[in-house]
Structure 1
């Protein structure tokens, strides 16, 4: 068979697989929104379409999330080379608020028209569209935890933003920036990969990866130490509700011969569970025990253990810990 034909067949089946994987992620609301135009004449036209197709606030909020995540791409170049902060002068508080609103309106329209943004554009556009469909929405700014190096960081920084929406008298957490995809360091580019887990995310999972500048959520204090020193969790952790029952710290002080006990919810002996040693070789966990809807196993701390350890379940990364060798 000619090489070109083989390549075409491979590409064809790869597209089918990717489309099938995306279809499995989509709710009925997402499937409707996925058929929308990729561009609208105005945000008001998009909001009118959402109001026409959906009746409940929950479905409208989800529709806004889906359209943005499916159509607005993360502008990684703008992230690497942020524009200079635009200053302005004013003589009255009313003039200040008017100019701030104009800057925000420009940010919204730029994200909507160019279909590119960083988190500020994503959150501003989400808030704008949510309010157009009649949903109360706010923007929260804070820190994010995405890399191994974030485990055990000393301080938080204000480097991210997300939304909360009020639906049925309950505030819901939303990060539409992370819903649209992720950065693939091996390819050096953003990968568009719609992910529903950052819509109405469980607060326990959400605040393992987010820390608000205020240090509070709905008046409740959030532990900065838990955020900084907790383990790093991944999208599949949230999607599969793989709560990390043990260890509760992301920083593990061990000496040679110690055994690290790990317990993860919603996995069983039938799952393939392994970690990578410091040479990036997979090591299958030995003698796992099923325990109250979880799987418990031990990892031997030896010379093959690197500075970080990531647990995989069926090839999906679930949790990472920082190893401190005594």
Structure 2
């Protein structure tokens, strides 16, 4: 499932500073990979190039991430019109596994050659390339949280997939599907926008937006209900380490006249902090207080507040909450 991003009034400002911001956020590995051919004759040739150019597991894992994110595009049409699961018959477990492997191999090669796919293709290709360069990698399937309607959602079916890769004896979280770009609902199309934030993501942030089907990959971090009822965070929240201290729930029960107290770490009074009312107008927060390495402020619940409140810092959406009347 693609990551969604809210369009806003500062779109032109975003365009002006895009090249500068891009140069700041890519690593030396990314710069090298950006000069690679857009296509290789085979996955093996790409793996050989990565092994030649990079020595460490961390660099090779990042190189695979950046090449896929630079060159493979999310196929939103396939996402909207998902083909039916491919069925087959078999007479033994060995035959079943051979056929499953063939289906997976076909998916990998199709994604690699057409340079298009959905999360299943992205993750299968990442795993295959990782194994070619000697990395241990797995595919994790589960639920994702990307839009306002996901806050408090009741349906809990699996809708996404990502990878974990073993680097320096530690499993690292990777979502290369979200690294390649996002879906812009205002334009009705995918936008290619490389983002390294989903490579080796901080687990606290990653699991605010991903919930694995198997608890093995999550531990006792939180329950599925807590995941669905939590606030919706955005890419910039992760990039800038804007930790949402309060409210800790994404569903806020309030009546007219109530005030919601919000505390966000790593923000100061020098930042422009505001939220949108139901007319999509920016409302600047009043009397913010610097507190414990962050900023605390209040939002008044009145007739101008809609069903959701999204808080912005400078020009970027940071966190959204769902407002439920008492």
Is the counterpart of residue 134 in structure 1 residue 134 in structure 2? yes
2:318 aligned residue: 318
Q: Where does 1:259-274 land on structure 2 (aligned, <5 Å)? A: 259-274=259-274
DSSP 3-state at the match of 2:149: helix
Cα deviation digits, residues 139-160 of structure 1 (max 9, x gap): 0000000010000112311100
| Cα distance in structure 1, aligned partners of 2:86 and 2:313 | 46
State the 1:134 CA deviation.
Answer: 0.5
Aligned with 1:201: secondary structure? coil
Distance change in 2, residues 1:16/1:43 (3 Å)? farther
Q: 8 Å contact 1:215–1:223 — kept in the other structure?
A: no
Q: Which runs of 5+ in 2 are unaligned?
A: 1-12
TM-score normalised according to structure 2 size: 0.94
Q: Structure 1, residues 152-196: CA drift from partner, whole Å, max 9, x if none?
A: 112311100000001111000000000000000100000000000
CA displacement at 1:222 relative to structure 2:
3.5
Query: In the TM superposition, what is the alpha-carbon distance from 1:75 to its structure 2 partner?
Result: 0.3
The equivalent residue for 1:162 is 162
Cα shift at 1:83: 1.7
TM-score in terms of structure 1 length: 0.94
- The match for 2:5 is none
Aligned-partner SS, 1:99: helix
User: 2:301, 2:83 → 1: CA distance?
Assistant: 46
Matches within 5 A, 1:103-114: 103-114=103-114
> What count of residue pairs does the alignment treat as equivalent?
314
Matches within 5 A, 1:138-153: 138-153=138-153
Answer yes or no: is 1:96 the counterpart of 2:96: yes
Structure 2 match to 1:233: 233
**Following the alignment from structure 1 to structure 2, what is the Cα–Cα distance between the partners of residues 319 and 218?**
23
Which SS does the other structure have where 1:286 is aligned? coil
**Cα distance, 1:219 vs. partner?**
4.5
Aligned residue for 2:187, secondary structure, equals coil
Q: Where in structure 1 are there 5+ consecutive unaligned residues?
A: 1-12
Q: Does the aligned pair in 2 maintain the 1:276–1:310 contact within 8 Å?
A: yes
SS at match of 2:20: helix
> 1:6 maps to which residue?
none
Q: Is the 8 A contact 2:212 2:218 kept in 1?
A: no
Structure 1 outlier segments of 4+, above 6 Å: 13-16
| Contact 1:215–1:222 (Cα < 8 Å) also in 2 | no
Alignment check: 8 A CA contact 1:236 1:318 kept: yes
* Deviation, structure 1 residue 218: 5.6
Deviation at 1:18, TM superposition (A): 3.4
Instruction: Give the match for residue 7 of structure 1.
Output: none
Which position in structure 1 is the counterpart of 2:288? 288
SS in 2 for 1:261: strand
Distance 2:290 2:191 in 1: 36
- Tell me: CA distance 1:174–1:294, structure 2 relative to 1, closer, same or farther (3 Å): same
1:22 equivalenced with 2:22 (yes/no): yes
The offset of 1:21, in angstroms, is 2.7
1:309 is matched with 309
Aligned to 1:87: 87
Of the two, which has the highest radius of gyration? 1
Q: Structure 2 CA distance, aligned partners of 1:110 and 1:15?
A: 33
The CA deviation at 1:259 is: 0.9
Report matched runs for 1:137-286 at 5 Å.
137-217=137-217, 219-220=219-220, 222-286=222-286
SS at match of 2:268: coil
SS of 2:306 mapped into structure 1:
coil
The CA distance in 1 between the partners of 2:65 and 2:79, in whole Å, is 21
Task: Tell me the residue number matched to 2:37.
Answer: 37
Which fold has the larger relative contact order, with Cα–Cα distance below 8 Å and residues 6 or more apart in sequence? Answer: 2
CA distance in structure 1 between the partners assigned to 2:325 and 2:304 by the alignment: 12
Q: CA RMSD in A?
A: 1.5
Write the distance in 1 (CA, Å) between the matches of 2:66 and 2:267.
Answer: 29
